[in-house]
Amino acid sequence: MSKREFQTEVSQLLQLIIHSLYSHPEIFLRELISNSSDALDKLRHLTLTDDAFKGLAFDPRIDLELDEANKTLTIADTGIGMNEEDLVAHLGTIARSGTKNFLSQLSGDAKRDSNLIGQFGVGFYSAFMVADRVEVVSRKAGEELAWRWTSDGKTGFDIEPAERLVAGTTVTLHFNEEGEQYANSWRLQEVVKKYSNHIAFPIFLTYDKSEWNDAEKKSEKTHTTEQVNAASALWRRPKNELTETDYKELYKSISGDWEDPLFWFHTKAEGSLDYTTLFYIPAKAPLDLYQAEYKTGVKLYVKRVFIMDDAKELLPSYLRFVRGIIDSEDLPLNVSREILQQNRVLTSIRTASVKKILSELKNIAANQPEQYLKFIAEYNRPLKEGLYSDFANRETLLDLIRFKSTKVEGLTSLADVKSRMKEGQKSLYYITGGAESLLRTSPLLEIYKKKDLEVLILDDDIDEIVFSGVEKYGDIDLKAVNKASTSEDLQDEAEPDKAETLKPLLDKLKATLGDRVKEVRASVRLADSPSCIVSDEAEPSMKMQQMLRAMGQKDIPALKPTLEINPDHEIVKKLLARPDDVTTEDAAWLLFDQALLMEGVPLPDPALFVQRLNRILNLSI
C-alpha cells in the first residue's frame, strides 16, 4: 500500500467544503452521480468511435447500494474508470486553475457556495461532507488491473492494487454523523429524483425493502433493486409532453444551479438539418462570466450520445452564460474539436441557435418587460460584447440592450429613445468615459439639456470601445457627444459665427497651451461651463486613453485633445477684453485643467494647478 499526501490546495478545499456547506450536504450524491454519468458518456463515446473499444460489451448503468446496518452507500458505474495514475491526478490534486478562484470566492453562504462547487468542478470532494472514510475502487476500460484509493479526507490517501470484474468505478461512503440521514432508501430516492432524474443512464438502488406479509402478519425485508430515475433524453420529447417542472429539473441537473432558470427555449428543427436545442438562461450570471477561462454551459450530443461539454464553438462567447443542450442528427459521432471549428453543420446550427435565442429574448422584452429587466440586470454587458463581435445580429442586439439616459429613470431601449426624438432631430447621442455621476454632470451635456435633446449615459467600461464601432441605429446616426465633430442638431443657424470675434483669444490660448492641445476653438456645445475637451472622431477619448494605460497598454501614443471655449461665458468675455499678462496665462491653463478634471482625467501636475488657482484667488479676494 502506498501513502500519498493531498496537494495543499486539496486539503484547503476539503476543509472549506466540509465547513461551509454543511447545510446542503445532499449535493454529494448529485456530484458523484454526475461523475459516473460523465464516465459512462466517455466510455460510450469510445465504444462508438475507437476501434479498440468497439467490440466491448457495454452495459451503461449506475448502481447505488445501501447498507443501512453498516451505514455505507456505494455508487458504482460501468464507465471509463481510472488507473493508478488517474486516481492520483484526479482525486489528489486540483488540475484546474479555476479551482483556485473557487477557493478565493467562497463566501460562507452555503447556498451560494454549493452552486460554486458545481461550477468549479470540485464535486468529488463533497463526499467528505457526509463520510469519514471514502473508498474508490476503479478499473480503467481496456486495462486488467484495478486500484483501491482510500482516504479520511484529512491529510492524504492510500492507494493499492485491487480487483474489479469489469471496467468502471465504485465509490463507497462510510457515512459520518452528518451523513447518517442518507442511510435511508426514501431519502436517497428523493435526492436522486431531485437532482439526477434526467441523467441519461439508468440509476438503480439496491436496498432492503420492508414489505407487509399478510399471511404471516408481519413486515419482511426483501433485498430489492429498483430503477429510481426517469433516464430519458427529455429534450427529445415533444414540448407538449413536458411540464414546467420537467424543464426546471433538467436545468438543475445539467447546470448544477440551485435556482430556477429565468427562461428556456426549446426548439426542434427538421429539414435540411435535424437537431434539437434546449437553451436556458440562468437567473444569476455564472460567477466566471468575466474570467478568460470561463466554463461553457452547452453540452453537445449527437443522436442522444453525449459528445462534449466544453466546446466554446457551440455558441459565440458573448452568449457564454447560456446553459443547455444541442443534439444533432447530422454530425459524426467522432467529431473532434478541430473538426467542430469549421464544420458546416455546426456552423448552421450555431447561426440558427443565436438567432433563436435573440429573437426569443426580443419576444420576452416585448411581452414580459418585468422579467426582461431581470435578464438585463445580469446580462446587458455580455450583449454589448456581441455588438463588437457579432456583426450579423447587431441590429437585434441594439434592440435588446438597455441604456441609462438623461430623459428617463431606470433603463430605456433605443426604440424608445428613437420614439422620443424631437421633430427634425438628426442623430441619437451618447456620452462615454467614466462613472455615471461624472457623465451626468459633464459640461458636454449642457447644450443638449438646453436644446432638450436626450443623451444616453454609457458608463460600462467597455462602452466606448463597443459603441465607437456602432455608427447607426437603423438609419439614424449614433453620435458620441465628446467627439470633435458636432452634429447639425447643435448648430444654431440664427447665431452669427462667433469664432471670428473670439479668434485673438483662441490664438492666445493655443500659444500658451502649446502642444498639450491639438486646437483651441469656439464651442457650440457649452451653455454653463467655460470650457471642455473633445477628441477626434477616430481617436479614443482622454478618459479611454487613461484607462488603456492603466490596463498596461504602454504603446498608446499621446493623443492631444481639442479645447473648446464657450464664447458666451463671462470668464471668456473678460479674457477677450483683457491684456496679455500672467493672469491671462493662468486662466488659459485653468480653463484647460478644469476641462480635464470634468472628464475624470487626473492632472499631470496638480502642484502647478494649485499655484495658478491661488494666484487667481488672491486677485479676486
Contacts to ligand ATP by CB under 6 A: 31, 35-36, 39, 77, 79-82, 90-91, 121-124, 169
- To ligand ATP, the closest distance from the beta carbon of 242 in angstroms equals 25
Q: Is residue 297 part of an annotated ligand binding site? A: no
- To ligand ATP, the closest distance from the beta carbon of 135 in angstroms equals 13
Q: Which of helix, strand or coil describes residue 25? A: coil
- Residue with smaller CB distance to ligand ATP, 79 or 540: 79
- To ligand ATP, the closest distance from the beta carbon of 248 in angstroms equals 20
Cell representation of residue 597: 478634471
| Distance in angstroms (rounded) separating the CA atoms of residues 524 and 506 | 14
Q: What is the largest CA-CA distance in the chain?
A: 119
Q: For residue 181, which amino acid is it? A: Q
Q: Which of helix, strand or coil describes residue 444? A: helix
Q: Is residue 123 part of an annotated ligand binding site? A: yes
- To ligand ATP, the closest distance from the beta carbon of 311 in angstroms equals 15
Of 174, 2, 172, the C-alpha closest to 88 is: 2
Grid cell 472514510 in the structure block, residue = 133
| Distance in angstroms (rounded) separating the CA atoms of residues 610 and 282 | 52
| Distance in angstroms (rounded) separating the CA atoms of residues 371 and 368 | 5
- To ligand ATP, the closest distance from the beta carbon of 374 in angstroms equals 26
- Residue with smaller CB distance to ligand ATP, 81 or 286: 81
Q: Is residue 97 part of an annotated ligand binding site? A: yes
The stretches of 479-540 forming alpha helices (DSSP H) are 499-513
Of 158, 164, 170, the C-alpha closest to 146 is: 164
| Distance in angstroms (rounded) separating the CA atoms of residues 514 and 88 | 67
| Distance in angstroms (rounded) separating the CA atoms of residues 40 and 447 | 66
Cα separation of the two ends of the chain: 89
Q: Is residue 126 part of an annotated ligand binding site? A: no
Name residue 500's beta-bridge partners: none
Q: Which of helix, strand or coil describes residue 19? A: helix
- Residue with smaller CB distance to ligand ATP, 80 or 428: 80
Cell representation of residue 244: 414546467
Burial of 297 (0-12, 13-18, 19+ CB in 10 A): buried
- Cα 77 from chain centroid? 33
- Residue with smaller CB distance to ligand ATP, 17 or 478: 17
Q: Is residue 108 part of an annotated ligand binding site? A: no
Question: Which conformational region is residue 455 in: left (phi greater than 0), alpha (psi within -120 to 50 degrees), or beta?
Answer: beta
- To ligand ATP, the closest distance from the beta carbon of 124 in angstroms equals 3
Grid cell 486662466 in the structure block, residue = 587
- Residue with smaller CB distance to ligand ATP, 124 or 294: 124
- Residue with smaller CB distance to ligand ATP, 127 or 358: 127
Burial of 372 (0-12, 13-18, 19+ CB in 10 A): buried
Whether residue 45 contacts residue 7, with contact meaning beta carbons closer than 8 Å, is answered with no
Whether residue 66 contacts residue 183, with contact meaning beta carbons closer than 8 Å, is answered with yes
Q: Is residue 179 part of an annotated ligand binding site? A: no
What is the number of other CB atoms lying within 10 angstroms of the CB of residue 500?
Answer: 9
Q: Is residue 121 part of an annotated ligand binding site? A: yes
Cell representation of residue 247: 424543464
- To ligand ATP, the closest distance from the beta carbon of 91 in angstroms equals 6
- To ligand ATP, the closest distance from the beta carbon of 93 in angstroms equals 10
Grid cell 443522436 in the structure block, residue = 303
- Residue with smaller CB distance to ligand ATP, 179 or 256: 256
What's the residue count for the chain? 621
- Residue with smaller CB distance to ligand ATP, 121 or 179: 121
Q: Which of helix, strand or coil describes residue 278? A: strand
- Residue with smaller CB distance to ligand ATP, 123 or 179: 123
Query: To the nearest 10°, the Cα dihedral for 590, 591, 594, 600?
Result: -130
Half-sphere exposure of 241 (CA within 13 A, CB side): 7
CB nearest ligand ATP: which residue? 121
Helix (H) or strand (E) holding 580: none
- Residue with smaller CB distance to ligand ATP, 136 or 465: 136
| Distance in angstroms (rounded) separating the CA atoms of residues 503 and 285 | 55
- Residue with smaller CB distance to ligand ATP, 179 or 434: 179
Q: Is residue 420 part of an annotated ligand binding site? A: no
- To ligand ATP, the closest distance from the beta carbon of 122 in angstroms equals 5
- To ligand ATP, the closest distance from the beta carbon of 607 in angstroms equals 55
Q: Is residue 51 part of an annotated ligand binding site? A: no
- To ligand ATP, the closest distance from the beta carbon of 117 in angstroms equals 8
- To ligand ATP, the closest distance from the beta carbon of 382 in angstroms equals 22
Q: Put the strands of the sheet holding 472-473 in their side by side order.
A: 404-405, 455-458, 427-432, 476-480, 472-473
| Distance in angstroms (rounded) separating the CA atoms of residues 47 and 454 | 63
- Residue with smaller CB distance to ligand ATP, 228 or 502: 228
- To ligand ATP, the closest distance from the beta carbon of 300 in angstroms equals 15
- Residue with smaller CB distance to ligand ATP, 81 or 261: 81
Binding residues: 31, 35, 77, 82, 97-98, 119-124, 169, 337
Binding residues for ATP: 31, 35, 77, 82, 97-98, 119-124, 169, 337
